[in-house]
Amino acid sequence: MTVRFGVIGAGWVSASRHQPAIKRASSAELVAVYDRNPDKTAAKDTDAVWTSDIDEFYGLGLDAVSICTPPDSHYDLTIDALGRGVHVFCEKPMAMNIDEAESMAAAAVASDRLLCVSHNFLWSPAMVKARKAIDAAGQLLYVSATQLSSDNRRLPRWYSDLPGGLLFDEIPHILYIFNDLLGPEVNVDAVYPTWADRTSEPQSCSIVVSGSKGTGHVNIVFGAPVSEWHVTSVSERSVVDVDLFRDVMISTGSDGEHKARDVLATSLRVTGGHLLGFAASGARLVMGRQYWGHDTLLASFVDAIESGGPSPVSTQSALAVVRASDQVVNGLVRG
């Protein structure tokens, strides 16, 4: 069976992540791309049909669609696709709020179709290695995340209209990783924003997150000089750090009695691990094969369609992340 895919949205995430991931999946075919803006669908050098007519798009006999549009359109597009009997792979944020998300999940059940939200970093090479290292490191003691976002990098034009601005668009990435490590359903216990002169999102924000497996903290700074996203877990026998943007994982192991030789050994492990990881991810980038987990997740979604199995991102996980996102947004009170 070949899963016939259509992509809704012709922007950056569609062109650089979803379309290549579909093309890499051995049992998928990119049949069509839809965008409501005709300028984005004209004269494309591809075998796929590009159209701004939604009925023409669905008339091509699609099995699944990938939704790559701004978050405020995800609900309507998902409900429409499921109502047409089509499986849905949806970009994060899943929805604007938990009410929309729960309705989307219910529609998937009613239509007997899969709904998968793109929690892509969980399938990135670095995060897959990190999960194995964390599982082997004994009891998980603590998780932290640092998210620095520069205003100079490529940003969507529509983010300032979202509740909490860019924070709303980006925080699901961190929350679904925390939900995976601390879940199965994390809770946001406290939100501490500072605003300065920013209008759409806070200047900085500290978030306390808890789950059945422990507690964690997220620290975010917007307007930073560099863009760096790190998730660090502390376990009994190792500290594991994932550099999400570089797709690199390092595991410190234990430094024993913290003598000079122990510290040196730890330094060698960390430095060597970073260099090897950077070389591997750099090679993938140069060869055009660096997708930060989108390709592996989408291939798993295709496998689930073919086999009749569950979505690789469960409904429980998807809804837990939206609930936590709602809690973050509700905590963004200006002082």
- Write the DSSP string, 195-251: -TT-SSS-SEEEEEEEETTEEEEEEEEES-SS-EEEEEEEESS-EEEEETTTTEEEE
What is the homologous superfamily of the domain 122-291+325-330 according to CATH?
Answer: Dihydrodipicolinate Reductase; domain 2 (3.30.360.10)
Quote the radius of gyration of the chain (alpha carbons, Å): 20
What pLDDT was estimated at residue 43? Answer: 62
d(C-alpha 23, C-alpha 34), whole Å = 16
Edge to edge, the sheet with strand 115-117 lists 49-51, 28-34, 3-8, 64-67, 87-90, 115-117
Low-confidence ranges of the chain (pLDDT < 50): none
What pLDDT was estimated at residue 45? Answer: 65
Pick the CATH number of 3-119 from 3.40.30.120, 3.40.50.2300, 3.40.50.720, 3.40.30.10: 3.40.50.720
According to DSSP, residue 37 is labeled: -
Express each pLDDT in 12-48 by its tens digit.
999 999 999 999 999 999 999 999 998 887 767 678 9
What pLDDT was estimated at residue 326? Answer: 98
For the chain, where do the domains classified as CATH 3.30.360.10 start and end? 122-291+325-330
What pLDDT was estimated at residue 200? Answer: 85
Express each pLDDT in 259-280 by its tens digit.
999 999 999 999 999 999 999 9
What pLDDT was estimated at residue 171? Answer: 98
- Tokens 């900085």 -> residue: 204
d(C-alpha 34, C-alpha 6), whole Å = 8
How crowded is residue 135: how many other Cβ atoms within 10 Å of its Cβ? 10
What pLDDT was estimated at residue 196? Answer: 85
What residues contact 222, with CB distance under 8 A and at least 6 apart? 149, 151, 166, 167, 198, 201, 202, 203, 204
Q: What is the pTM of this model?
A: 0.96
For the chain, where do the domains classified as CATH 3.40.50.720 start and end? 3-119
CB 22 within 8 A of CB 28: yes
